[in-house]
């Protein structure tokens, strides 16, 4: 016996070959032509419908509509977007956030027919018409104003945070830029809403230079509704450094809130800048709008003071911030609440000025997983954070 076969027992008996009867029999038969035809009769329409459906979906995805979405965006840490230069760190101590506050965004892109159909089925998405989305402005104008208002929000957040910490910060007023037009019923041909465009810059009033609102306001004091004045305007879109200006005759209208007061008929953009003892960079990428003001302010206070301002609780915040520390209302609160819940935040600070319907909708979205706290100003926001176990801002160490 060879070594290879040594594992075989000497008394083993080989199994008999399988019998013919036990072998499986495979039968092949040619189908009935009529039966095959019946199957094809059903298959061809189904295949045709499937192709038509696929083509329809493809066409819908490529067909743009004049509709826009208002959809949940994201909730991101502000601290990841802060940068402290060496020159800044030579003047101030930085305390990296232990529990970073989140700022919240909403999406508002243009929709295809397929997107609009999907959005109509999603309770968290609002479909908006052009007028609902842009009003009397254009997409490019609103985008420009959105970026500008975000820049202003960062500036005001720095101003509020620094003044809270006892630092010297002040505003410098900028150009008078038309951000929104005010139209009364049946405006005349010389009405401001007919003569002015969004983005126009007003440079003089009745021949008097008006580089900022500080110069314009006194010149308006002696006029009444119905008076016709002369404005010099740099048209929207004029390149920087250009001397192109246009003369406009404008009939003043009554202020809707104070009928005896004359107004030109526009709301100016907030073009103020802030003089600060040091700069902290806030990267907002391609995000527009002023609604992150409160979150930026809280993040700066957290970074410039020891301890944990959020008390170890994941907090999101939304709302504009005014130089008087007031927190202003914002749009898309329900959509932002969806993003906050998805990010795992436990507390959501929102403006107290939101309507009851908006607050109720946001609470429905988050359920019991997120505590929504309306605040009217920075003091109220800080009080809530301290109630969560936050460290407060009384121990700042500024070396200036």
What's the domain count of the chain? 2
Answer positive or negative: Cα dihedral of 161, 163, 168, 171. positive
Q: Are residues 307 and 257 in the same domain?
A: no
Confidence of residue 153 (pLDDT cuts 50, 70, 90): confident
CATH code of the domain covering residue 88: 3.30.230.10
Q: Of 123-132, 208-217, 255-264, 334-343, which gets the smallest average pLDDT?
A: 123-132
Report the relative pairing of strands 315-317 and 327-328 from DSSP bridges.
unpaired
Question: Residue 13 has what pLDDT?
Answer: 42
HSE, side-chain direction, 13 A CA sphere, residue 224: 1
Three-class DSSP category at 299: helix
Nearest to 134 by CA among 230, 67, 191: 67
Q: Are residues 250 and 287 in the same domain?
A: no
Q: Is residue 16 part of a domain?
A: no
Q: Are residues 163 and 284 in the same domain?
A: yes
Q: Is residue 130 part of a domain?
A: no
HSE, side-chain direction, 13 A CA sphere, residue 362: 28
Mean pLDDT of 5-19: 43
Report the predicted TM-score, pTM, of the whole model to 2 decimal places. 0.69
DSSP state of 193: H
Q: In which domain, by residue range, is 222 found?
A: 176-268
Q: Is residue 196 part of a domain?
A: yes
Q: Of 7-11, 72-76, 208-212, 283-287, which gets the smallest average pLDDT?
A: 7-11
Mean pLDDT of 270-299: 85
User: Which whole-number Å values give the CA distances from 289 to 72, 142, 293, in the listed order?
Assistant: 15, 10, 9
Question: Residue 61 has what pLDDT?
Answer: 57
Confidence of residue 136 (pLDDT cuts 50, 70, 90): low
Angle at 188 between CA 183 and CA 194, to 5 degrees: 55
* CA–CA distance, 319 with 337 (Å, rounded to integer): 13
Q: Are residues 259 and 331 in the same domain?
A: no
Q: Are residues 338 and 208 in the same domain?
A: no
Q: Are residues 236 and 304 in the same domain?
A: no
Beta carbons of 116 and 65 less than 8 angstroms apart: yes
Q: Are residues 293 and 199 in the same domain?
A: no
Nearest to 379 by CA among 327, 333, 317, 328: 327
Convert 230-260 into a string of H (helix), E (strand) and C (coil): EEEEECCCCCCCCCCCEEEEEECEECCCCCC
Q: Are residues 100 and 141 in the same domain?
A: yes
Q: Are residues 263 and 327 in the same domain?
A: no
Question: Residue 363 has what pLDDT?
Answer: 96
Q: Of 245, 268, 291, which residue sits at a domain end?
A: 268
Note the pLDDT tens digit of each residue in 23-82. Answer: 444 444 455 565 655 666 666 677 777 777 677 666 655 666 666 667 788 899 999 999
Beta carbons of 241 and 201 less than 8 angstroms apart: no
CATH code of the domain covering residue 219: 2.30.42.10
Mean pLDDT of 222-230: 94
Beta carbons of 110 and 67 less than 8 angstroms apart: yes
Angle at 209 between CA 230 and CA 211, to 5 degrees: 115
Three-class DSSP category at 155: helix
Place of tokens 């007028």: 131
Model confidence at 104: pLDDT above 90: yes
Q: Is residue 231 part of a domain?
A: yes
Q: Of 221, 239, 268, which residue sits at a domain end?
A: 268
Nearest to 210 by CA among 226, 234, 194: 234
Q: Are residues 359 and 219 in the same domain?
A: no
Q: Is residue 25 part of a domain?
A: no
User: Which whole-number Å values give the CA distances from 39 to 45, 271, 273, in the listed order?
Assistant: 11, 72, 75
Q: Is residue 254 part of a domain?
A: yes
DSSP string of 73-88, one letter each residue? EEEEESGGGEEE-HHH
* CA–CA distance, 41 with 76 (Å, rounded to integer): 56
Q: Are residues 247 and 201 in the same domain?
A: yes
Q: Of 238, 268, 298, which residue sits at a domain end?
A: 268
Note the pLDDT tens digit of each residue in 383-395. Answer: 999 999 999 887 5
Q: Is residue 50 part of a domain?
A: no
Q: Of 95-99, 127-131, 153-157, 210-214, which gets the smallest average pLDDT?
A: 127-131
In 60-210 the beta strands, taken as DSSP E runs, fall at: 64-77, 82-84, 102-107, 110-112, 126-129, 170-172, 176-181, 201-205, 208-209
Tokens of 101: 């506050």
Q: Are residues 241 and 218 in the same domain?
A: yes
HSE, side-chain direction, 13 A CA sphere, residue 128: 17
Three-class DSSP category at 384: helix
Q: Is residue 60 part of a domain?
A: no
Mean pLDDT of all residues belonging to the chain? 82
């Amino acid at each position: 016996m060879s070594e290879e076969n040594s594992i075989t027992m000497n008394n083993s008996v080989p199994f008999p070959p399988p019998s013919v009867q036990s072998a499986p029999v495979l039968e092949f038969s040619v189908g009935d032509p009529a039966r095959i035809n019946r199957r094809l009769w059903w298959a061809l329409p189904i295949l045709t419908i499937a192709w038509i459906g696929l083509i329809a979906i493809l066409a819908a995805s490529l067909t743009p509509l004049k509709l826009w979405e208002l959809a949940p965006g994201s909730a991101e840490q502000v601290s990841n977007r802060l940068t402290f230069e060496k020159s800044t760190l030579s003047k101030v101590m930085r305390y990296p956030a232990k529990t970073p506050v989140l700022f919240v965004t909403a999406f508002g892109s243009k929709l295809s027919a397929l997107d609009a159909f999907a959005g109509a089925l999603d309770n968290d998405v609002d479909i908006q018409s052009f007028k609902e989305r842009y009003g009397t402005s254009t997409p490019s104008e609103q985008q420009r104003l959105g970026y500008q208002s975000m820049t202003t929000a960062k500036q005001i957040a720095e101003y509020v945070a620094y003044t809270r910490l006892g630092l010297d910060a002040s505003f410098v007023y900028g150009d008078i830029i038309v951000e929104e037009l005010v139209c009364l019923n049946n405006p005349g041909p010389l009405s401001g809403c007919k003569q002015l465009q969004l983005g126009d810059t007003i440079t003089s009033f009745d021949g008097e230079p008006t580089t900022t609102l500080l110069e314009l306001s006194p010149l308006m004091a002696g006029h009444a509704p119905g008076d016709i004045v002369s404005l010099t305007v740099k048209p929207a879109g004029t390149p920087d450094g250009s001397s192109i200006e246009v003369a406009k005759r404008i009939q003043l209208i009554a202020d809707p809130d104070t009928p005896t007061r004359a107004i030109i008929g526009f709301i100016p953009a907030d073009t103020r800048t802030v003089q600060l003892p040091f700069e902290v960079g806030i990267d907002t990428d391609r995000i527009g709008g002023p609604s992150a003001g409160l979150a930026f302010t809280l993040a700066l206070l957290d970074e410039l003071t020891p301890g944990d301002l959020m008390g170890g609780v994941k907090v999101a915040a939304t709302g504009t911030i005014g130089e008087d520390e007031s927190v202003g209302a914002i749009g898309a609160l329900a959509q932002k609440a969806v993003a906050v819940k998805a990010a795992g935040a436990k507390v959501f600070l929102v403006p107290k000025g939101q309507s009851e319907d908006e607050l109720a909708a946001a609470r429905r979205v988050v359920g019991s997983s997120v505590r929504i706290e309306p605040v009217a100003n920075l003091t109220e926001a800080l009080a809530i954070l301290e109630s969560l176990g936050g460290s407060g801002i009384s121990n700042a160490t500024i070396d200036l």
